[in-house]
A = this chain, B = another copy of it.
């Protein structure tokens, strides 16, 4: 089981980034990481190279790697694309879902309900992820599923912040219900629209997002 340390390292560091253990803008010292994980610098560098290729860290020549810190504008753009891709997944899912897809989607929806009624945001956050994954899978497009999963993962920290907003969880669950209905009844257009607006950062939510982002920046002591 000692196969390919750099895979594990990549996942560990990526996880640290999307969960916030490594903060945006933080410098990732190779030697330090090497000691921490008990390996040499070589596999650490290989992991960082992979993360830089998917845009999670930035490698500045001769000056080391830092966790990327996207501007609010950029985060908004990422949600914009995510909304479109999820809408597409919903439309495809409505047309192509199998029996197992339906079962998985309903099961995930039920878990979300439990989390929502018990007002457990952490649990809802977790079950919500499974719900969305069920949609991607039901699209029956492996490539789309991959793209969605990757982007979903990268937006994790921001989504988590968003859920904390008052009432967002209940609204979210209600939207899920409409999405489930549209997908199961094979209504591609409604599924697309449902998911697009569910994911998009519109109206008040845009303000919430920007506010959260600047809070974070103030906390980590950059920005005036």
Give the docked Cα–Cα distance between A142 and B81 (Å): 11
Cβ-neighbour of A46 out of B3, B49, B84, B85 (below 8 A): B49
Residues of B close to A6: CB separation below 8 A: 49
Cβ-neighbour of A53 out of B45, B50, B77, B88 (below 8 A): B50
Query: Would you call A3 and B147 a contact (CB within 8 A)?
Result: no
A28-59 at interface with B (beta carbon < 8 Å): 42, 45-47, 49-54
Query: Would you call B4 and A61 a contact (CB within 8 A)?
Result: yes
Main secondary structure on A side of the interface with B:
helix
Query: Would you call A84 and B88 a contact (CB within 8 A)?
Result: yes
Q: Contacts A84-B84, A88-B84; is A77 near B46 (CB within 8 Å)?
A: no
Binding site for B on A (CB under 8 A): 3-4, 6, 42, 45-47, 49-54, 61-62, 73-74, 77-78, 80-81, 84-85, 88, 141-144, 147
Given A50-B53, A81-B85, A84-B85, 6 further pairs, Cβ under 8 A: A6-B49, A74-B142, A77-B141, A77-B144, A81-B144, A84-B88
